[in-house]
Structure 1
């Protein structure tokens, strides 16, 4: 968690806000150096776990797009649109997946990294509550989608409020660093609270429908 914050938020923020003047790296190189850290972290995560992480890959894509838009000195509104588009796409995908055999809520919440899936499924079947649980999964999907849409709106507002200077300037680079720093408290925390609410909702109903205790549901670390 600390490494994640350091590579994705703290270090890039410090570089863009403190080293973007011409006396140090300058506005262009400070962006290049700062945004290289999330990419390095994503590659490191892949090499350590020996498997592709879709969310890490998407994070790297987001960083590359931000860097590309900044270095090409395009209108900052494109960064705002990009910031809003990625979580919005997740939200839409979550909603659309509800009607498929593989709802994304199972990827986010109902997975074997968090829960003892086989035990839960067996208990649901024993209590004849599979259909009732599927209904709860749909409700949880709406909550998860809501967290993404909330993130989308907050991302857009934050980018529009913070990025007001001309691209390619020291001021713009510092604003980009400020936006990166504020992304955690302003965006990640509210969205995480909503997501945790969805997880709590799902766990509450798993216990109710399976008659399992919490320690029987969670995977041991």
Structure 2
């Protein structure tokens, strides 16, 4: 298992590439190339959605990011294509747009009743923080119970960000995508919705997630007495030292 993991390349966040491939390129294709003089409705939809679909599959296979949210993202793009190609009522697009973050939010809530809450996987994990060191300090100070309560509260906040996304996705889809699916107007509206969703939904959601991480960090700081540098994951600490 360790040999297999050693062959998996490190996944380095590339927000500008993600933005270009998942938002900008598909939006331009859908909005500008859906006319009969260019790609046409069907090919514009297929090629436009191929970029985020292909990028998502590439990351799943290349970096073994086989997690629930990554898989759900790929399925979501596939469903969008299905709605357009099969000319299903555009109202189902709004339902789909709301359903995906709603499912994730429900999964976050349900996971709080299990041994493996999703907030631990996504925010409180060894790739970001030295979890073993934090847990040892919490045991020494007798604060494990209080920390678990705070972690559960962070899970509720985290689920709330997905509820916000679900509501905004539905409103945005119903507001922008009003034409029948399978038409040039539908493609153009889908591209416009994809483009608008980033500043209206993705950025506010990102800000809320940063606030949740800050809340979690402040809890760790108060209960353990460690600074952020002291509880960073060892590999991040080494990189910080190398830059000095």
- Range class of TM-score, shorter chain: over 0.9
The CA deviation string for residues 49-90 of structure 1, in whole angstroms up to 9 with x for no partner, is: 145243222111000000001111111110100110111111
Per mean C-alpha deviation after superposition, the further-off stretch among 52-61 and 87-96 is 52-61
Per the alignment, residue 61 of structure 1 pairs with 75
Which residue among 103, 128, 134 is the counterpart of 1:114?
Answer: 128
Residue 93 (structure 1) aligned to one of 107, 112, 115: 107
- Consecutive unaligned residues of structure 1, counting only runs of 5 or more, are none
Q: Distance in 1 between the 2:180 and 2:110 partners?
A: 38
Q: Is the contact made by 2:105 and 2:162 (CA closer than 8 Å) also made in structure 1?
A: yes
Q: Where do 5+ consecutive residues of structure 2 fail to align? A: 1-14, 240-244
How is 1:56-205 mapped onto 2 (pairs within 5 angstroms)? 56-205=70-219
1:123, CA displacement in angstroms?
A: 1.0
> What is the alpha-carbon distance in structure 1 between the residues aligned to residue 110 and residue 62 of structure 2?
33
Q: 1:37 aligns with which of 51, 64, 73?
A: 51
Distance 2:217 2:62 in 1: 31
Instruction: Report the TM-score when normalising by structure 2.
Output: 0.87
Bigger drift between 189-198 and 175-184 goes to 189-198
TM-score by length of 1: 0.96
SS at match of 1:212: coil
Q: Alpha carbon RMSD of aligned pairs, Å?
A: 1.2
Size of the aligned set, in residue pairs, is 221
How many angstroms apart in 1 are the aligned matches of 2:30 and 2:109? 36
Whole-angstrom CA distance in 2 between matches of 1:203 and 1:146: 19
Show the counterpart of 1:209: 223
Q: CA deviation at 1:137?
A: 0.4
2: CA distance between counterparts of 1:15 and 1:200? 38
What's the counterpart of residue 16 of structure 1? 30
Structure with more contact order per residue of length (Cα contacts < 8 Å, sep ≥ 6): 1
